[in-house]
Amino acid sequence: QHRGREQQRGREQQRGREQHRGREQHRGRERIVLLGKTGVGKSSLGNTIIGWKAFPKSHGPNSDTSGRVSFTETVHGRELTVVDCPGFFDTDPNKVSNDRTNILGRTDLNCAPGPHAFLLLLKVERYTPLEQKVIELMLKYFSDEALKYTTIVFTHGANLPKKMKIEDWARQNDALRDLLEKCGNRCHVFDNKMWRNQGQEDYRYNDRQVQGLLDTIDRAVEANGGTCFTSDLLKNTTLWERFRGAPVGFQIAAFLGICEFVTTTVDMATAIAKMQNPEWVQDNLPYIGVLTSAIQYLRMLNRLYKELRVEQNRDRFCTIL
Ligand SMILES: Nc1nc2c(ncn2[C@@H]2O[C@H](COP(=O)(O)OP(=O)(O)O)[C@@H](O)[C@H]2O)c(=O)[nH]1
Ligand SMILES: [Mg+2]
């Protein structure tokens, strides 16, 4: 019995050490990506987090892409790399591909092998249908996997009614509530201008919110098995697993591609057989007939698919994270 207890204690110690080591590993360096419309306060939040004016403020409504995009600083005992992604979510859907190279380029360069957290920035303001549209757009961009790493951060916290917590404020709006739930209800509020100094309330003080935010990120990273986010392409999955995880449209297209290959081959085989041995073709006409109908059917499917693709290109939304 005594030995049993010893073994149990040994196991617990081992588990504790492993957990500790896991935490240490990602505490070593956390990579955070800031996302949101121009003017929402990304650069300001970056500065609030790292504690000095590193990121330049944007002037005017045009998205600014100049200036350094990442800074590394020790904050509350963690080494943080904060990456600013200017101009994301400002643009119309037609520019999605530009944004895509923009964000993936930046996160790849500064965030290898991947970020630990996406901070999706929104303002505390009245939500008009236009803002709701932006939220819908954000949800379109983010895969479920990326949402597991996402925390919503509200800026302009001074607009938050007195004594109200940000969660309660956000839940009043359907689109925000939906977004919040998809992000595991992770959300924080800052006011990059007004909450710089400790006030009467801890809640309305940026430094406290930074601490809370970093804890939230830690918890999310832990829940995600201590790993950072990597896009599906980087994951070590078999071709079959990838195919199974692909959108249905892709699966159908791939299937039709294989069909097209088979139909061409059967067409060719029949033509060769006709040349080499017309009698054999005559004898097997019923079978060849069945094959030919099947081919025609597949061709029709393929035509349908091509039309579908034109339709798809018209609306070029895609999940990019
Ligand atoms: N009152 C207030 N102003 C803010 C806040 N965050 C940013 N700003 C201001 O909003 C403007 C745009 O901020 P910036 O950080 O450059 O936005 P970015 O384009 O998302 O990087 C600047 O004039 C900031 O001073 C905030 O929380 N409260
Ligand atoms: Mg900026």
Q: How far is the CA of 29 from the centre of ligand 1 (A)?
A: 26
Quickly count: other Cβ atoms within 10 Å of residue 147's Cβ. 19
Alpha-carbon distance 139 to 321, whole Å? Answer: 10
Looking at residue 153, what is its pLDDT? 97
Q: Is 81:31 a contact under the CB 8 Å cutoff? A: yes
Nearest-angstrom CA–CA distance, 29 and 25 = 8
Please tell me the number of Cα atoms within 13 Å of 41 on its side-chain side. Answer: 21
Euclidean distance between CA atoms 314 and 89, whole angstroms: 19
Question: Which residues sit with Cβ closer than 5 angstroms to ligand 2, an ion?
Answer: 42-43, 58
Alpha-carbon torsion angle 227, 231, 234, 238, nearest 10: 100
CB 198 within 8 A of CB 206: no
Q: Cβ of 101: how many Cβ atoms within 10 Å?
A: 10
CA–centroid distance, residue 87 to ligand 1 (Å): 14
CA 169 to centroid of ligand 1, rounded, Å: 20
How many CB atoms within 10 Å of residue 253?
Answer: 17
- How many Å apart are CA 318 and CA 160, to the nearest integer? 33
Residue 197, classed as helix, strand or coil, is coil
Residue 246's contacts (CB-CB under 8 Å, 6 or more residues apart) are 254
* Residue 57 CB less than 6 A away from ligand 1: yes
Cα 99 to Cα 91: distance, rounded to the nearest angstrom:
8
Distance 164 CA to ligand 2 centre (A): 28
83 close to 229: Cβ distance less than 8 angstroms: no
Alpha-carbon gap, residue 192 to 206, rounded angstroms: 7
Taking alpha carbons only, the member of 214, 88, 194 closest to residue 142 is 88
Starting at the earlier edge strand, list the strands of the sheet with 150-155. 70-75, 78-84, 30-35, 117-123, 150-155, 187-189
Label residues 13-35 b or e (16+ Cβ within 10 Å = b). Answer: eeeeeeeeeeeeebeeebbbbbb
C-alpha distances out from residue 319 to 88, 144, 274, 306, Å: 14, 10, 49, 21
Q: Is the CB of residue 143 less than 8 Å from the CB of residue 118?
A: no
Cβ of residue 192 lying under 6 Å from some atom of ligand 1: yes
Give, for all 321 residues of the chain, the pLDDT tens digit.
Answer: 566 666 665 665 555 444 444 444 445 688 999 988 888 999 999 999 999 998 887 665 555 555 568 899 999 988 999 988 776 666 554 454 445 555 555 555 567 778 899 999 999 998 877 777 778 777 777 788 889 999 999 999 999 999 999 999 999 998 899 899 999 999 999 999 999 998 878 899 999 999 999 999 999 999 988 888 876 544 555 677 777 778 888 888 888 888 778 878 888 888 899 899 999 988 988 888 888 888 888 878 877 877 776 665 544 443 444
